[in-house]
Chain A
């Protein structure tokens, strides 16, 4: 048992921290939000150059042999800066599923260029009715000659507008909500019959609604085994959850730091408001919440490579519960202690608050994961 970072990991932490601090000042970020893509290609190129896009992949897959701890380190710093580049959909989700389920050809065609910064992905699983059930998928893929034809709808697909390939979860057999009978397809983002409606999200990311109208793909578009995608997706989503938790931890550090600074300087009744015990204790609770969030994120990052899927699922759900709870507490408290300023667009806190709020809703909120964890724990 060892909870200390290696020297390489400390260096990674420093360079990610520097990136967020220098490239993601409040004003810079505002400008990046206003660009057409909503993120900067030069930043993405820098990620590739620094090796961040390949760090978590094995050397045989063309990566640098790191793992969830490296992802945690970088995501945490991304959270501090509210970084907008689509690392989660492209690297953690897309790259993760290709590395886990892809053929040698797919890895060569997709993973290698992704690590070089030349390909981006989006993961389309959610549908209007799905809520947090990953198997609640009705977009249909039917056999068509040697290949497949996809028809249906996908919602809130992050990074779809910038992605080169969309990784689509489709039903190839079975009834609604049955885990068996789901298949992953890699679909060219410009495929005929695929239409998009793009929009920004509450926290200034980009997402889209996708409509598939008889989109034809070849047999080689299948990622992994036909009808058997569910375990791949579940694992990828659990890994994405852990990465999101790390991002949330960074957000909490930043929002707590901003609030602490504010209550030390804002004066009312002749003193800094941080002299009032009500606010002091609330600030301490924020600090404790962030500590717990960091602890659970670390726990989950250390367990997410476990061989036992039950251990992985419990770790991811456990961390997500903590992040939901702590994120809400820190976010709401930051706004409250900032007073009216906390809900204005011009203060950084409101942006962290929005991101923390959206993180809770992604891939299952606190309640969902509490139920999931509870069921797993009672089954044990």
Chain B
């Protein structure tokens, strides 16, 4: 056992850092460190740069065009990018549908879809949840009925992140309404430009537009867009969810969040000094810092077990649970650090590059919106309660 880095890993970390400094736009970087919202270009320009370098699909095996990195390289890549203020890689293509396609898809499908994901030429979004199927995903009702060479899809998806930027959507649809709920589901890829697809924004409590309703009204989808076998889409769904849970812990960005929090504490005035002089507050930062470290070590232990041939088991659910609690706690403490200046609502500061002057310090306007927004982390990707059910059943045998 050893935590130290070999020289070639150190060189690798330097390479990643140099790449990020070269290719990440200063404006995007600035948005990261001031907590502003990204627009589509912030993500796509950066992801295309990564794609060109062959690093966007960094978790993929070589065989499918990934860089074939070991656990340490992945760890360094994620951490250096977070430190450099890169936006997170939108997971829908490279971390979700990509691995599903190369694991369950046909050769034709791999050739058709994987290159666009690796290069970020094509943006994907996820059609899982429905108004009546949230935590109980298998209860979904969007129907796909076979008609010759096509499926005719009717129904509604909700909580679809970035559907308004998406070129394609991968959907869970019901192809067989009889039998157990899990057994009649299929995994379908749908071009967002197909007639009958409508996207309607959902505005969140912080005023932001990330998620949408997607309506599917007699949408004609060629049968060659089916991944895996008809009615066996639940296998793809579960595979994707387990992969999702791993990255969803967001450790590198939480580490960045803790160091930004310390920075804010050093700036925020209190009793003639700064908040950093208040031991009760700094102890709370220390506590969350340690929680992040524990989570990071837990994730490394899982990755190390995977490197020796294991698959991510249901215990990764606990990483998702703790990861989301930690993101929430950082947002909460950041708002606490800002204090009363968290109150002014300045949407211009958050969403647009206006010349509006912030009411308080620069870091103040995003604090409360971020706190409100982060409440989603313990809800999405399978709520905390659902994750605990999974662990209870699959790990503890209860």
Contact = CB atoms under 8 A, between A and B. Distances in A.
Direct contact of A and B (CB under 8 A): yes
Interface string A178-198: 000000000000000000000
A260 to B, nearest CB: 6
B298 interface: yes
A143 interface: no
A2 B2 contact: yes
A260 B318 contact: no
A121 B396 CA distance: 41
B290 to A, nearest CB: 5
Contacts of A299: 3, 293-294, 297
Contacts of A294: 298, 301
Which DSSP category, helix, strand, loop or mixed, fits chain B's interface?
helix
Given A264-B397, A288-B321, A3 B298 contact: no
Interface string B369-398: 000000000000000010011011001111
B9 interface: yes
B290 A298 contact: no
Given A1-B5, A4-B308, A371-B279, A264 B398 contact: yes
B392 A321 contact: no
Q: Classify chain A: how many residues form its interface, as a range.
A: 35 or more
Interface string B281-319: 011011101110111111011001000100000010010
Contacts of A295: 294-298, 300-301
B300 A3 contact: yes
B72 interface: yes
Interface string A84-97: 00000000000000
B4 interface: yes
Nearest to A275: B398
Given A5-B1, A288-B318, A288-B322, A374 B294 contact: no
A69 interface: yes
Contact of B322 (A1, A281, A283, A292): A292
B276 interface: yes
Interface string A275-302: 1010111011101100110111011011
Interface string A255-289: 00000100110000000001101011101110110
A288 B301 CA distance: 13
A377 interface: yes
Interface residues of B, number: 43
B396 A260 contact: yes
Given A1-B3, A3-B304, A295-B297, A374 B286 contact: yes
A318 interface: yes
A239 to B, nearest CB: 16
A303 interface: yes
Contacts of A291: 298, 315, 318
A1 B388 contact: no
Interface string A5-40: 110010000000000000000000000000000000
B262 interface: yes
B75 interface: yes
Contacts of B291: 292
A105 to B, nearest CB: 34
A378 B395 contact: no
Contacts of A296: 290, 293-294, 297
Contacts of A1: 2-5, 9, 71-72, 75, 300
Given A1-B9, A321-B290, A374-B279, 6 more contacts: A1-B71, A277-B392, A296-B293, A299-B293, A370-B286, A378-B262
Interface of A: 1-6, 9, 69, 260, 263-264, 274-275, 277, 279-281, 283-285, 287-288, 291-292, 294-296, 298-299, 301-303, 318, 321-322, 370-371, 373-375, 377-378
Interface of B: 1-5, 9, 71-72, 75, 262, 276, 279, 282-283, 285-287, 289-291, 293-298, 300-301, 304, 308, 315, 318, 321-322, 385, 388-389, 391-392, 395-398
